[in-house]
């Protein structure tokens, strides 16, 4: 999720004190201790599944500003939800407009047929 949404932790990461401090990942026996990390490598800017192992230590160990995704994943998920809602609303509006246009065209065809029938009855 960190790599897909370009986010890190639940709340925004501001420094080496962050959401990971009290997690099993970073307690006295967690992965954090064995790699001297403050945040997971997945939080680093530009890290993908293919280059995960070569993430720069300035990101995960030193937490240097600009090297990691500061946005919290809670906010990133909210933004994704809003974006999907906007697309859904835009899609619904487009479908509604198209349905109205089709209705107007059908009514126009009926009026045209009625006009043609009246013209041929008068002739």
Spell out the domain ranges in the chain. Answer: 1-71, 80-123
Q: Is the CB of residue 23 less than 8 Å from the CB of residue 7?
A: no
Tell me, what's the pLDDT at 30?
Answer: 79
Tell me, what's the pLDDT at 122?
Answer: 62
Across 15-116, where does the E strand assignment appear?
A: none
Mind listing the pLDDT tens digit of every residue in the chain (123 residues)?
A: 899 899 999 999 988 888 988 888 887 777 787 778 899 999 999 999 999 989 999 999 999 999 999 999 999 999 988 888 888 787 777 777 778 777 777 877 877 777 777 666 665
Residue closest to 77 by CA, chosen among 23, 28, 4: 4
């Amino acid at each position: 999720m960190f790599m897909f949404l370009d986010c890190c932790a639940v709340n925004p990461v501001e420094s080496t004190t962050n959401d990971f401090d009290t997690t099993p990942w970073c307690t006295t026996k967690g992965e954090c201790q064995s790699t001297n990390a403050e945040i997971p490598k997945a939080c680093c800017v530009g890290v993908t599944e293919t280059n995960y192992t070569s993430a720069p230590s300035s990101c995960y160990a030193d937490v240097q500003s600009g090297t990691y995704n500061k946005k919290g994943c809670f906010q990133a998920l909210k933004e994704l939800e809003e974006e999907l809602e906007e697309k859904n609303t835009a899609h619904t509006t487009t479908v509604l407009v198209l349905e109205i246009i089709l209705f107007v065209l059908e009514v126009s065809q009926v009026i045209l047929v009625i006009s043609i029938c009246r013209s041929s009855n008068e002739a």
